[in-house]
Amino acid sequence: MYELGKLILQKHYIPIVGQGKARWNNVHIEDLTKVYCALVDKAVAGDIDPELFGATGYIFVENGEHVWSELATKIATEAYQSGYIGEPRDYQLGKDEALKVAGFEAVSWGLNSRGKALRARKFLDWQPTNISIEEEVRNILIQEKALLESK
């Protein structure tokens, strides 16, 4: 998401990779950290439940999903409304161009990655509590704009 915000601020367009329909899970870093901490706590306590550790111990962590092109549009709209860029337009990026302008992160904007945090909820009693990716857009734009201006 940070690379997406940075690219939008630099290029003033809405990057669309592929058909613009790719879906991806998202989770706030602080919610992800809670899962890691819960796993470490269990391991330290000697609770090596095979549902958490070993062959079946695969844990997904998510707090919903987004469509990359819709998220890019939301970021670009916020950047425009904040006066950071002029009115953005859609811009189709192929795989090679996406790699060139923003690295692998940009290629992933055209790929699907979907899962459910069922096991984290069931075996770790985990629930996400932080703000959504959509609610984080403004903060990310502010941070990325400051980084670009500091260079």
Structure tokens at 2: 């940070």
User: What whole-number distance in Å separates Cα of residue 141 and Cα of residue 150?
Assistant: 14
Backbone angles phi, psi at 108, to 5 degrees: -65, -20
In a domain, 104, yes or no: yes
In a domain, 20, yes or no: yes
User: What whole-number distance in Å separates Cα of residue 5 and Cα of residue 31?
Assistant: 21
In a domain, 137, yes or no: no
CA distances from 141 to 27, 39, 72, 110, 136 (A): 18, 32, 12, 21, 9
DSSP state at residue 131: P
The predicted structure's pLDDT at residue 104: 86
In a domain, 139, yes or no: no
The predicted structure's pLDDT at residue 95: 87
Mean pLDDT of 116-124: 96
- Name the nearest CA neighbour of 68 among 106, 31, 99: 106
pLDDT band at 20; cut points 50, 70, 90: very high
Pairing of strands 65-67, 23-25: antiparallel
Residue 30 pLDDT exceeds 90: yes
Pairing of strands 23-25, 13-17: unpaired
Residue 103 pLDDT exceeds 90: no
In a domain, 24, yes or no: yes
| CATH number of residue 35's parent domain | 3.40.50.720
In a domain, 83, yes or no: yes
Computed over every residue of the chain, the mean pLDDT equals: 94
Structure tokens at 146: 């400051």
The answer to whether the CB of 68 falls within 8 A of the CB of 112 is no
In a domain, 35, yes or no: yes
61 lies in which domain range?
2-132
**Domain total of the chain:** 1
In a domain, 138, yes or no: no
* Position 85, amino acid: I
**pTM, entire model:** 0.89
Residue 107 pLDDT exceeds 90: no
The predicted structure's pLDDT at residue 110: 92
